[in-house]
Amino acid sequence: MTHKVSVFLFLLLLGVTAEAQEYGFDTWTTANGLPQNTVTKVVQTPDGYLWVSTFDGLARFDGVRFTIFDKGNSKGITNNRFSNLFADREGVVYALTEDDIVTVYRNGSFNSYSQFATSGERVSAFSNDDKGNLVLKTDQGYYSFEGDRFVRKLENKERIYWGKTAFQHSGIRSLEFT
């Protein structure tokens, strides 16, 4: 009887192991087309592309290969050292450099905005409001991207989503971001 139980448990564990082996992992490095091996953020746009920020440029992955965007091959990128990344509901990609330059990819082209870098205003986070639009958090307040510029948000009634939870502006001010 114990032999039958042992065989049954062995077959049961073998089945669990076989199911676990259905999932695979791919590791991507510079050998696979990344511009640099330190990945600071990954986002997916509505068209299915994965965007990757690194300390040597941005990469867009189509499921097969990477397309690299950096200051050497893409007009509008002024710094390759990207520390954060955000994609909005329209597929616009916002990339933040270490020195607080925000590079925006929209309609196939890049534009960089240095207003936060020149003012000394530190950008601490990207998120979206309840309509899915970008909200950029700095140490001085919140900004939205309107037209072709960042505009300070003064309204306190809009909701901003940080992860899966919504807070009023007054509630967000009490949180600490590192």
Task: Give residue 154's pLDDT.
Answer: 65
pLDDT > 90? residue 10: no
118-158 tens-digit pLDDT: 888 899 888 888 777 888 999 888 998 888 889 898 654 45
Amino acid occupying residue 98: E
Class at the top of the CATH hierarchy for domain 2-172: mainly beta
Residue among 57, 63, 26 nearest 44 (CA): 63
Specify whether the CB–CB gap between 97 and 119 falls below 8 A. no
Residue-range domain boundaries for the chain: 2-172
Q: Which residues, 6 or more positions from 114, have their beta carbon under 8 angstroms from its beta carbon?
A: 78, 100, 101
* Consecutive H or E run containing 118: helix 115-119
Tokens of 22: 């259905």
pLDDT, mean of residues 153-166: 52
Length reported for the chain: 178
Average pLDDT, the chain: 80
Which residues are bridge partners to 138 per DSSP? 123
The three-class DSSP label of residue 150 is strand
pLDDT > 90? residue 85: yes
Lowest mean per-residue pLDDT among 2-16, 38-52, 54-68, 123-137: 2-16
pLDDT > 60? residue 5: no
